[in-house]
Structure formats: C-alpha cells, structure tokens
A and B are shown apart, each in its own frame.
Chain A
Amino acid sequence: MHEIIEFLGVSKRFGSVSVFDRLDLAISTGRTTALVGASGSGKSTLLQMINGVLVPDDGRVEVFGSPLPESRLAAFRRRIGYAVQGTGLFPHLRIDANIGLLGKLEGWSDAKLADRIVELTELMGLAPELTRRYPHELSGGQQQRVGICRAMLLRPEILLLDEPFSGVDPLTRDEIHERFAELMRAEPVTVVLVTHDLHEAMRLASELVVLDGGRVLQADAVQEVVERPATEGVARLFERLQ
C-alpha cells in the first residue's frame, strides 16, 4: 500500500504541554482516513502538521514522499485542499470569489474559473444564485458546502478536512455527506478527515485512526476497528462516542 503521508517520530509541544511524543503514522493514498478521538486527543494538531500550518518540534512529516519544503510552502499547499470547522470563509469575498480565489492566483482564465465553480457547486448542491452572495448571507450548511468547493478548486491530491460538517442539524448533515460522497466519487482524492462524530467517520471513511491523549490507539480499516478494537481504550472510546 502506497503511503502519501507519513509521520516519522513526530513530537509536538505547546509550551510545556506535550501533544505528541515520537508519533509514527502512515496514511494511504486514495483512501479517506478519519482521525477520531475525544477533544484534546490531538487530531486537529495532527492534521495541521500535514500542510505545515503547525511544525513538529521533533521528527518529520513526509508528504508526497518527501519532507515538507521550507521554501515555496505556498505552492506545496496548493496541492492540498483545506477546509475547517466553522466557516473559514472570507467575509469580504462573495461566494464565487471565495471558491475561486486560488484559481485567480493561479492565473486561470475567467471562463475556466467560472466553469470549475459551476461544476463544483452543482456537485455540492449549491444553487447558482448563491454564488453572488456574501458568506454571512448563507446558512451554516451552505457555508460548509462552499468550504468544500473552495478546498477542491485546484483538484488537489490531498484534502484535509477539520471537522467541516459540525454544527448543523442531522438532516442537513446527512445531505451534505451524500453530496460529499458524490463529489469524492467524481473526483477521487486522498482525504484526511478530523471528526469527533463517529457516525460521520464510519459513513465517509474507509480507514480510522483512533487517537487518545496524543497516542494512536488503533489505525486500521473501519470494519476492522469496529469489530476488533485493539485495546480496551478503543472499545471504551467507541462506547463513549456512540
């Protein structure tokens, strides 16, 4: 199995608080991997080390088979889509400008950009007239779809999602999940999804990484984890999350 992301002996501290201590973890190409765990388990920190928003204190992270570049980090990051919890949308830009920002910076033609925006918004079930609005004029669920569209604009090889579907009602979330799954079928990509919602993880992911207090309790296929929890801790976590 080819590994697109590898954590090699990674340690990360915030001040005196150690989040990870010599962590090793590999994430496979083409799969959707969910990082699950309770709050404070370090899952969001782990995600942010993949695109270099956070830098390990020790060890290294390898993406696309090499360590994160020190220069030209921006170009590297454009190969990785990024969507975060809350909205993360830029309030001063209309929806189409939010989605299209990176395309514009890449020098895409207006036509190419417009086509791509239509393509993505259709896949995510966003009405065309919404693209002329500002983020605050959209519902929470609509904003989350926009966040996904923006992250997918450049057809990245990796998509990092930091609890992107939290905070909406279950019905809306189900619909967004459906749309997202459809988008993934249309444009397959390696996804790393941080979530505290186990249902969401089981629905969208094929792989699970169970974290607790900065340690990986189990990293395996979803079915495997559910049926054969590696430790008491994993089993308990499942009970708690369920």
Chain B
Amino acid sequence: MMSGGPRRESRYIRRKTAAPKTGDRLALGHGRRCCRSLQPRRSSRARRLAARLRPGVRHGLAGAAIAGLCAALLGPLASAQQPLVVGSKTFAESYILAEIMAQLLEAEGYEVDRRFGFGGTLVTFEALQAGAIDVYPEYSGTMQHTILSSGADFGSEAFAAEVESLGLDTLQTFGFNNTYALTVTGNTAQRLGLATITDLVDHPELRFGVSHEFHERSDGWPGISGAYGLPQTSFGIEHGLAYRAMLEGDLDVTDAYSTDGDLIRYDFVILEDDLSFFPSYFALPLVRQTMQPRVKAILNRLGGTLSDARMRELNAEVSIERRTFADVAAEFLRERGLVADAADPRPTSTLVADLIDNTIVHLKLTGIAVAAACVLGVGLALAVHRSRPLSRGVLYATGLLQTIPSIALLALMIPLFGIGQVPAIIALFLYSLLPIVRNTITALITVDPLLKRVAAGMGLSQSEQLRHVHLPLALPHLLAGLRIAAVISIGTATLAAFIGAGGLGEPIVTGLALNDTTLILQGAIPAAGLALAAELGFELIERRLVPAHMMASRLPS
C-alpha cells in the first residue's frame, strides 16, 4: 500500500482546469497507513484561528481596493501576529512532513496553525494560492505534471520561471524521491540476485501484478516494460492484494511508492531504476513568494535531511508502530539537531469530546446549509413554478450544480471564500438546492387542476390559495425533498474536512491517511447515525404536518 500518493493525484487537476469526477476518490484512495495516533492537532484553537484568518476577506470578492489598502497598511503588522498556517494533503507522508515543518517553526518561536488533510493537490494548491495556508509539502513531479502548464522539468529554468509567475516559491527539497518503483520480496531478491530493474530481464518466468493505474499509465508498466525490454507480461491487481499475493508467493513483482513504509514491514526490496526511467517526485515545501525570508530560511534547513530510506522509516513508524505524527516528527527533528528540546506534549482530547465536537460542527454545517437551501429553494420554486420556461431554467441550473463533483466544488469555493466552514456551508447549500427546488416545483405544478380551480373560484386570494391549498398539497413532496437534501448533505459534509471545515469528516480523512479503521469509524458511524436521525426526524415532522393518507411514503409509486 502506498504511503505517499503524489503520483496518483496527478491525473485529476491536470493543468488546473476542470477536475474529473474521480478526484475525491483518488484523493481517498491512497495513503492507507494505520496508526492509532492522535489526530494531527486541529484543536478548537485552530478553529478560532480560522475565524481570524478569513482568507476570503483578503482574497474574496468584496472591496479589493479597500482590502489592498488595508493590507498595505497593516500587512507587516498582521503577518507578524498571524500564525503561520501549515497545510498537508490526505496521506501519511504529507502529514509527517507538514508536522515536521510545523514543529520546526514553533521551535523558532512562530505560532503555527495546522490545517492538515486537504483533499488532494487541487484543494491544497488552491488553498495556498488563496492565502488560506502558507506552506505545504508538494512533490516536484506533481508540480511538473499537474500544477504547471508548461510541464517543464524540475530544476529547469522554465520550471522556475513558471513557479515564479504563479507567485510561488519552491524551497529546498527534503531529499528523498517518492516515485514509482518495482519491488520484490527480500527472498526473491536474494535467491535471484536482483538489485536493479535491468536484472529482471534475465528472469522471464517472474510473475508481474501491478496496481491498475500503474498498469495503464504511460510512465507505468507500458513505458517501463518498453524502456527496459522486460519480457514478462503483467496484469492489473488491487494494490493491497498485490502485497498479500507477494507474501504468499503467488506474485513476484509489483509496483510501489519508493517511500512506502509497508516495504519495511514486509521486507520488500526496491529494485534500482538504473535507467532512470521513473520521473522524480522530490518533496519540498511550497510557499508563496511573499513568505517572510526568515521563515523560508528556517524551512530550508530541512533541505536534504531525509533520504528515501529514512522517509520510509518515518512512514513505517506511523503506519506499523502506530506512533503519532507529532512524535515521529519531534524525534526526527531532535535526531537531526534541528530542535533542542523535546517537543511540547500535545494536548490530548478524549474520544467523546472529539465526537461531540465533530458532531456539533457537522450539524452546524448541514443545518445551516439545508435551512438556507430550504428558504431559498422553496422561495425560488414559488417564484417560478407558474412559468414553465422559468421552472425549467431553474431546474437545469440547480441540476448543473449537482453534477459538479463535490470535492471540485469545495475546491472552487477556496478562491472565493477561503477555507473552513463558510465555503463548506456554501457548497452544501448549493448541493441541497436541487432536491428541494425540484420536489417543490414538481409538487406545485402537479397540484390537481380541479382543486386549483375550486380554490380560485370560491374566492381565495393568490396568497391564500398558496398558503391553504397549493403548499399543503405540495408539502409531502417538499418534505421528501428536504429529507433527501438533509441526508445527502450529512454525507457530503464529511468531505468538508478536506477544506478544513472539520466535522465528522475529520476523523475519516485522518483515518484514511492512516488506514486506521477505528478512526474512520469514529467519523463514519456518527455520520450514518446523523443521517438516520435526519430520516427519522423528517418522518416525525411529516407525521405532524401531513395527514396520514397524504404522506409521501404512502403514495403509490
């Protein structure tokens, strides 16, 4: 399994244009480390800081000129006082590197706000550009293939020029290169005397099974088998299964990330890429140019401190020995002499307190979003339902919103509203509109025409017809729409953790990074419980408001 996931992301924000739908799944797909560690610290302090941070104010729509003036006047002062925001992506290696940077900066007297677990390159990069975070660990290959439109090689002038044109700055690489690699078991390596990929050429009997993506990518199996003239054939297999098959002797060679901690756990050997076929994925701190020089200098001290093997060990300490990111980072910094003292003991929060905290945030996110969507959606439906073209337009527009992949919509919110709860609520609100608007419009335009005629004919004014006849008759479907919106929202809100909004997605995101089922369940079970509670709650509301014979659940389908 993959500890670092830079490669797998590279498909989904190609050139920063549209993000394919699979983005969130890809982001979730890698980085399965397990560790019963504390979550990376994202305390109530962090949330309070988030409120202060408000990148949306600086970079948002409103008052650019005023904001600019204020920034010019207050900028130096503000930057001295504001905490440095360190971000990470959703896999363990990214958490570890981010934690190392955070602790080093803290040791140098900076206040640090940890915003870990952003949903993939797209979101993290947007957060950096929008000023919502100040630094995060990125990979040279991901920059080359995903972020930069030129696709220039890392280290080239074109690469540097484009990074500069984006207002960014790459700091010293940590040293290791987390790229694709081919791996065999220690036994196989010893038995056949395998050290390099070239050595494989002499063993056509070896059985190759590689992850599906590697099997298809041009810089994966098709490329490398051609470059080295490998005589074997290969088939696609789920990555976790490939490791298992290797251990059981059913498979001889598979692909891996070169810093994967599991390589240590299973005593797998990486075969040297002696023809340098695989592109390099050096990890480095990515910052904006405006970052204070002193901070850059501090982070540059991390340059070259981590070899492939050492990074693999750190990953393994988190994934296999189940140590916390904070512990692993602190130990590394001490060992390198980068910090003098032991790191501060982390405030430990209890499971119940976390659960309550996360549930409250989750309810807040979904509650506000669905309530706002209800008011606006029903209002919109009432406003347009008499006109067929208008109704159609509104339904198309809300339907279109629904087709935007949730993680992409969340990412699109960042430049406008920054990170945290505000953009999450807005995204959830947009998602909730369709079921509410659609159900309300449909219910209103399908009210029995005879009843409409009677209501008008007997002397009810327009508003009385709506209030006493049309809306009550539409209510079962309206409530059904609300119910769908609420349940979808509760589910989707778990993704809000990817943009730092917290909620029950927080333990899920961290748990996914760590392959920690317990942690995942700490988010997933309450989320499922909330969805169930929402179902039941709306059923109760329906029972109160709708006569039994008109309840949607009893309507013939």
On whether the two chains bind one another, the answer is yes
Asked whether A105 lies within 8 Å of B547 as measured between CB atoms, the reply is no
Q: How many B residues have CB within 8 A of the partner chain?
A: 21
Q: Does B453 contact A (CB under 8 A)?
A: yes
Question: Which of B249-257, B392-400, B459-467 binds A?
Answer: B459-467
Q: How far is the CB of B44 from chain A (nearest CB, A)?
A: 47
The answer, among A76, A91, A134, A151, for a CB contact under 8 Å with B473, is A91
Asked whether A74 lies within 8 Å of B457 as measured between CB atoms, the reply is no
Within 8 A of B (CB), among A56-113: 74-78, 80-82, 84, 86, 88, 90-93, 101-102, 105
Q: Please judge, given known A-B contacts A90-B451, A92-B473, whether A74 and B460 are in contact too, CB under 8 Å.
A: yes
Question: Which of chain B's residues have a CB closer than 8 A to the CB of A134?
Answer: 547, 549
Q: Does B445 contact A (CB under 8 A)?
A: no
Asked whether B457 lies within 8 Å of A77 as measured between CB atoms, the reply is yes
Q: Does B488 contact A (CB under 8 A)?
A: no
Q: Please judge, given known A-B contacts A48-B457, A77-B457, whether A88 and B547 are in contact too, CB under 8 Å.
A: no
Q: Does B472 contact A (CB under 8 A)?
A: yes
Asked whether B459 lies within 8 Å of A75 as measured between CB atoms, the reply is yes
Q: How far is the CA of A81 from the CA of B547 in the complex (A)?
A: 27
Q: How far is the CA of A211 from the CA of B430 in the complex (A)?
A: 56
Asked whether B458 lies within 8 Å of A151 as measured between CB atoms, the reply is yes
Asked whether B460 lies within 8 Å of A105 as measured between CB atoms, the reply is yes
Question: Which of chain B's residues have a CB closer than 8 A to the CB of A150?
Answer: 458
Question: Which of chain B's residues have a CB closer than 8 A to the CB of A93?
Answer: 472
Q: Does B16 contact A (CB under 8 A)?
A: no
Q: How many A residues have CB within 8 A of the partner chain?
A: 26
Please name the residue on chain A nearest to B455 by beta carbon: A90
Within 8 A of B (CB), among A125-157: 134, 136, 150-151
Please name the residue on chain B nearest to A137 by beta carbon: B549
Q: Does A168 contact B (CB under 8 A)?
A: no
Asked whether B456 lies within 8 Å of A53 as measured between CB atoms, the reply is yes
Question: Which of chain B's residues have a CB closer than 8 A to the CB of A81?
Answer: 458
Q: How far is the CA of A53 from the CA of B451 in the complex (A)?
A: 12
Asked whether A74 lies within 8 Å of B453 as measured between CB atoms, the reply is no
Asked whether A102 lies within 8 Å of B458 as measured between CB atoms, the reply is yes
Q: How far is the CB of A235 from chain B (nearest CB, A)?
A: 34
Question: Which of chain A's residues have a CB closer than 8 A to the CB of B460?
Answer: 74, 101-102, 105
Asked whether B454 lies within 8 Å of A82 as measured between CB atoms, the reply is yes
The answer, among A48, A90, A136, for a CB contact under 8 Å with B469, is A90
Q: How far is the CB of B460 from chain A (nearest CB, A)?
A: 6
Q: Mark B481-523, 1 if CB is under 8 A from A, else 0.
A: 0000000000000000000000000000000000000000000
Asked whether B454 lies within 8 Å of A88 as measured between CB atoms, the reply is yes
Please name the residue on chain A nearest to B463 by beta carbon: A74
Question: Which of chain B's residues have a CB closer than 8 A to the CB of A92?
Answer: 472-473, 475, 546-547, 550
Asked whether B549 lies within 8 Å of A82 as measured between CB atoms, the reply is no
Q: Does B468 contact A (CB under 8 A)?
A: yes
Asked whether A53 lies within 8 Å of B550 as measured between CB atoms, the reply is no
Q: How far is the CA of A242 from the CA of B450 in the complex (A)?
A: 29
Q: How far is the CB of A216 from chain B (nearest CB, A)?
A: 23
Asked whether A74 lies within 8 Å of B454 as measured between CB atoms, the reply is no
Please name the residue on chain A nearest to B472 by beta carbon: A92
Instruction: Offer 28 A-B interface pairs, CB within 8 angstroms, sorted by A.
Output: A74-B461, A75-B459, A77-B457, A77-B458, A77-B459, A80-B459, A82-B458, A84-B450, A84-B453, A84-B454, A90-B451, A90-B455, A90-B469, A91-B451, A91-B547, A91-B549, A92-B472, A92-B473, A101-B460, A101-B468, A102-B458, A102-B460, A105-B464, A134-B547, A134-B549, A136-B549, A150-B458, A151-B458
Seen from chain A, the residues whose Cβ lies within 8 Å of a Cβ on chain B are 48, 51, 53, 74-78, 80-82, 84, 86, 88, 90-93, 101-102, 105, 134, 136, 150-151, 160
